[in-house]
Amino acid sequence: MAKRKPARLEQTVEIALTVNGIKVTRRIDARQHLIDFLREELGLTGSHVGCEHGVCGACTLRVDGKIVRGCLTLAAQADGRSVETIEGLSDAGTIAALQEAFHKRNALQCGYCTPGMLIAAHDLVTRHPRATRDEIREHLSGNYCRCTGYHAIVDAIESVLKAKSSNPV
Ligand code: FES
Ligand code: FES
């Protein structure tokens, strides 16, 4: 009986996406993760890699406006989508109020978790403008800070929410 050849898996795929407002087309390894694509192919190293299995939140990004784990998302899944990284959100001024509040309250030490924290915090501020302190903590529960600067981080986010509610324009 003739031996059957194993099905050959596609090794590379071509993707076309928008990253921080710029159209990008690349042929990539089909199994490359989005965070590695952004860091290694595009040089966008602002988003970090920690646990690499969806626990720490260091790799938090936005895809079509929703926050995702860059280490659990394949770059191929971002085909045709709009990806925003900490660089794009920062340059656009989208997270300026949070950045200022983090700076003012010294809500970081090594800064490794900060890009992911800021993106998660922005998601909260946008979607739950009346979030309580407990809800802030809950929302950030998927973002680990190894330096344990949580108190100042929560203070900073709370201050942005308060400023927003007293001046909702
Ligand atoms: S590196 Fe993605 S969640 Fe930790
Ligand atoms: S500031 Fe160091 S990990 Fe959060």
Percent of the chain beyond pLDDT 90?
A: 89
Burial class (CB in 10 A: 0-12, 13-18, 19+), 5: exposed
Among 47, 66, 85, give the residue marking a domain's end. 85
| pLDDT at residue 27 in the model | 97
If asked whether residues 68 and 112 sit together in one domain, one would say no
Give the closest ligand to the alpha carbon of residue 147. Answer: 2
- For residue 27 the two structure tokens come to 């042929």
For ligand 1, atom 3, the nearest C-alpha belongs to 54
Residue 34 CB: number of other CB atoms within 10 A?
A: 28
Q: In the predicted model, is pLDDT for residue 169 greater than 60?
A: no
- Which CATH number characterizes residue 101's domain? 1.10.150.120
Number of domains in the chain: 2
If asked whether residues 16 and 68 sit together in one domain, one would say yes
State CA 12 to chain mean position distance.
25
SS3 61: strand
Residue 6: inside a domain: no
Residue 121: inside a domain: yes
Q: Which domain holds residue 145?
A: 95-166
pTM: 0.92
Give the bridge partners for 14, in sequence order: 27
Cβ of 112 less than 6 Å from ligand 2 = yes
| pLDDT at residue 7 in the model | 54
Mean pLDDT of 70-98: 98
Q: In the predicted model, is pLDDT for residue 10 greater than 80?
A: no
Do the strands 66-69 and 82-84 form a parallel or antiparallel pair, or are they unpaired?
A: unpaired
Among 26, 57, 85, give the residue marking a domain's end. 85
